[in-house]
Chain A
Amino acid sequence: MLLHLDRTFESADAEAEHRIAELYREFGGPLLRHIRRSTGNDLQWAEDVVQETLVRAWRNSARLQWEPGLIWAWLLTVARRIVIDGRRRRSVRPMEVEAPEIDVLAVPDGAERSLSAIVVADALRSLTEEHREVIEQTYLRDRTISEAAEILGIPPGTVKSRLYYGIRALREVLRDKGVAG
């Protein structure tokens, strides 16, 4: 009886492993190339993120029935969140020694800034203050909606809503500038 159960688990495990290996073949390479950029080229970290992303994909395998473009968008989003969570854990930052409020847009356009960084900074500047502010206070500083809402003194729902219209507006500007599809 127990032996039988063991076998059942074993075969389930084997099947899972097989499926995850398949996902690796299909998405591993492109995901790794993509994630490496957001881990500051930390290959070990990027590989861990790919693995965690594909395990989540396997656990939510119904989503793998979506069309390829949507699967890809979802995997990238899952991976990005894992990277952000990792970055938050790494930068153990107590509130008192909060990183200084550096102005990401004020960084001089020196040689180390890529052309697209300049284009993106320009696009961000062209948004309304309300839209720019929520993008800066959430994504650009690795903060959640709730944290940004507290800092800005507005309800979380308002942050979400402004973020929605702000990100859509940003995409439009970037598309006009030829850097977004």
Chain B
Amino acid sequence: MHEEVAAYVLGVLDEDENEAFERHLDTCTACQAELKRLVEVPDLLDELKHLPSASEDDRSR
């Protein structure tokens, strides 16, 4: 179950797996700590997903 924290933080678990993991998260302090450590990784990966970024609008006055 612990390894699912990465899939959870990325939002790629199926609906029921996602719910099951959240229930696990309620009591697992190791996964809670891991979630905090990993939470910024998907944001950084988003740099690769959204090339027309929000800053695009800022530049076009």
Contacts and interface: CB of A to CB of B under 8 A. Distances in A.
Interface of A: 34, 36-38, 40-41, 60, 62-63, 66, 69-70, 72-74, 76-77, 80-81, 83-84, 104-105, 107, 112-114, 116-117, 120-121, 124, 135, 138-140, 143-146, 148, 159-161, 163-164, 166-168, 170-171, 174, 179-181
Nearest to A104: B48
Contacts of B39: 72-73, 76-77
For chain B, the bracket of interface size reads 35 or more
Interface in B15-56: 17-18, 22, 25-26, 32, 35-56
Interface of B: 2-14, 17-18, 22, 25-26, 32, 35-57
B12 A180 contact: no
A41 B57 contact: yes
Contact of A117 (B4, B32, B48, B57): B48
